[in-house]
Structure 1
Amino acid sequence: MADERVSHWEEVYREKDDTQLSWHQDDPSISLELCDVVGVDNASSVIDIGGGTSRFAERLIERGLSDVSVLDLSKAALDRSRGQLGAVGEQIEWIAADVTTWSPERSYDLWHDRAVFHFLVDADDRSAYRDQLYRCLLPGSHAIIATFALDGPEKCSGLPIIRYDPEGLCEVLGDRISLVTHRKHTHHTPWGSSQSFQFSLLRVGQ
């Protein structure tokens, strides 16, 4: 399964530029707002799961953070993003890995995932993702996880997804995590269609 995911996304990022990616957004405003809610600052460490060619890590560097990592299973996506950012890209740690099989070596203050978790339609993959999240986040740390909302699309990039509301997301992630707040967001694709997302801000307990 992991090898199939890598092949799919490598092909996507090799064949399409950002304007052809439905999930692309120039301004990750909701994510940044939720960072402000939990007080992410210059001393915070952040990992962006499935960051690909997202602008989120770049915006964090612009805000003065110095401990920012981006994980994506597509090396092509990471290479593109690093090349686009130039000198800024040298300040980011780039990790080419599948989050479900990755072996994290450290913890972070914030786990950010915009539109990875909803692709995990296999229960074992969701369980592996949950294990990695808890390995990376100490009690009191936070996660921002965005998925298609219950009224969102049923597929993305030709793949099936699972839609969530905040309560359903928390149920899947287990009782060690609690919902702080959430946002409903209508994402407009580069070609003008609308997609309904939910952004959940979560806190890890004991």
Structure 2
Amino acid sequence: MNERSDTRPAEIVDTDPAGPAAAHWRDVYRTRPADQVSWFQTEPQPSLELVRAVFPEGPGGRAAIDVGGGASPLAAHLVRDGFGHVTVLDVSEQALRTARAAVQGEPGADAIRWLHADLLAWRPDRTFDLWHDRAVFHFLTDASDRAAYLDTLREALAPGGAVVLGTFGPEGPTHCSGLPVARHSPDELAAELGDAFTPVETRIQVHRTPAGASQSFAWLAARRR
């Protein structure tokens, strides 16, 4: 997406999520610039490296979903790499507006769907070949919420599809944005996904926040059998 065009990004699809999660993240993005939140990345690494690890032949026009994608620039990179459709789902409309504005005029912007929704209440209306999540799963400290998340993942992911999942690692923070988190090792993430998934690559990454703090992330890239 280096050349400018007149392509306009799609409008945000609003399912009007309610509840404490929606209110919390709405306030986070209203009170802090998107490039000052702790999870901000100028370039979405290692997400792209792990996506390329599960699609070494290239995405070939496949469909992807970035859950909790917020203001991340990942969607634009995925389109540029060859994904034919990318859905970005987030509970914060402000975060989606920031990301959508960033791709205004970029080739392929109309291949990105912006979905304002609560992931745990959302039901997929199509299947995807890639499920990407950086830093949503670790907010699910309740086992029933993790089970609901995994049910949605299995419903949304096509047979043979891939998952790239990143959470705080065992040495990572215990809280983020005022909320408790559940830390995971790559092996624990693989166990959560279960035997229907084959790990392709795992890693521990140290993320440097805009404020200069170091955060340990655990990553898993896996293929659905």
1:26, CA displacement in angstroms? 0.8
Identity percentage over the alignment?
A: 44
Cα displacement string for residues 82-135 of structure 1 (whole angstroms, at most 9, x for unaligned residues):
122213344310111111110101111100000000000111111110001000
In the alignment, the residues of structure 2 paired with residue 91 and residue 28 of structure 1 have an alpha-carbon distance, to the nearest angstrom, of 19
- Residue aligning to 1:29: 45
TM (normalized to structure 2)? 0.86
Q: Normalized per residue, which structure has more helix? A: 1
- Residue aligning to 1:181: 201
The answer to whether structure 1 residue 75 and structure 2 residue 93 are counterparts is yes
The answer to whether structure 1 residue 4 and structure 2 residue 29 are counterparts is no
In the alignment, the residues of structure 1 paired with residue 114 and residue 100 of structure 2 have an alpha-carbon distance, to the nearest angstrom, of 8
When the two structures are aligned, how many residues end up with a matched partner?
204
Contact 1:50-1:116 within 8 A present in 2 as well: yes
The one-letter code sitting in structure 2 at the alignment partner of 1:180 is V
- Residue aligning to 2:131: 111
- Structure 2 gap ranges (5+): 1-17
- Residue aligning to 2:145: 125
Q: CA RMSD in A?
A: 1.4
The answer to whether structure 1 residue 134 and structure 2 residue 161 are counterparts is no
- Residue aligning to 1:48: 66
In the alignment, the residues of structure 2 paired with residue 131 and residue 77 of structure 1 have an alpha-carbon distance, to the nearest angstrom, of 25
The answer to whether structure 1 residue 156 and structure 2 residue 172 are counterparts is no
In the alignment, the residues of structure 1 paired with residue 157 and residue 34 of structure 2 have an alpha-carbon distance, to the nearest angstrom, of 30
In the alignment, the residues of structure 2 paired with residue 150 and residue 195 of structure 1 have an alpha-carbon distance, to the nearest angstrom, of 10
The one-letter code sitting in structure 1 at the alignment partner of 2:119 is V
The answer to whether structure 1 residue 17 and structure 2 residue 37 are counterparts is no
The answer to whether structure 1 residue 92 and structure 2 residue 112 are counterparts is yes
- Structure 1 gap ranges (5+): none
